[in-house]
């Protein structure tokens, strides 16, 4: 901070949490048509903020943007009309949302939380 430019617009980001600052950057940068390549953007975001990112992505798509996203988030993978590519079998192929491991693990956890935790944690 000793060498930081206190007047630079990015300084306000240091007053936010990691997730909030990441989302603020996304909201300011996803304003025009373009190609956006994101690598696991969910890492910084709570589930609620992932939904906010989906809204921002939709706004950008309507302005002509395209996205390539590497993600394990069942929320981001659920973007309507997204083509989902998997590398899991050693070759690149399209899969359906419900075929993603992220969706399947989340569904199992939500529908069987007590049993799964008991088995995993040997309670």
* Whether the Cβ atoms of residue 30 and residue 65 lie closer than 8 Å to each other: yes
What per-residue confidence (pLDDT) applies to 16?
A: 64
**pLDDT tens across 80-91, in order?**
999 999 988 889
pLDDT at 12 over 70: no
3-state secondary structure of 40: coil
**pLDDT tens across 26-67, in order?**
777 787 788 999 999 999 899 999 999 999 999 999 999 999
Query: Which domains are seen in the chain, by residue range?
Result: 9-82 (3.40.50.300)
77 vs 26: which has the higher pLDDT: 77
Characterize 54-70 residue by residue with b for buried, 16 or more Cβ atoms within 10 angstroms of its Cβ, and e for exposed: bebbeebbeeebebebe
């Amino acid at each position: 901070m000793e060498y930081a430019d206190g007047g630079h617009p990015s300084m306000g980001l240091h007053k936010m949490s990691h997730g909030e600052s990441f989302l603020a950057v996304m909201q300011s940068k996803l304003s025009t048509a373009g190609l956006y390549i994101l690598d696991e953007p969910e890492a910084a975001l709570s589930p609620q903020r992932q939904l906010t990112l989906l809204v921002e992505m939709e706004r950008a798509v309507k302005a002509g943007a395209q996205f390539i996203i590497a993600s394990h988030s069942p929320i981001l993978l659920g973007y309507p009309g997204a083509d989902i590519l998997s590398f899991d079998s050693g070759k690149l192929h399209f899969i359906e949302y419900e075929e993603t491991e992220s969706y399947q693990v989340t569904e199992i956890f939500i529908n069987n939380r007590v049993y799964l935790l008991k088995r995993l944690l040997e309670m």
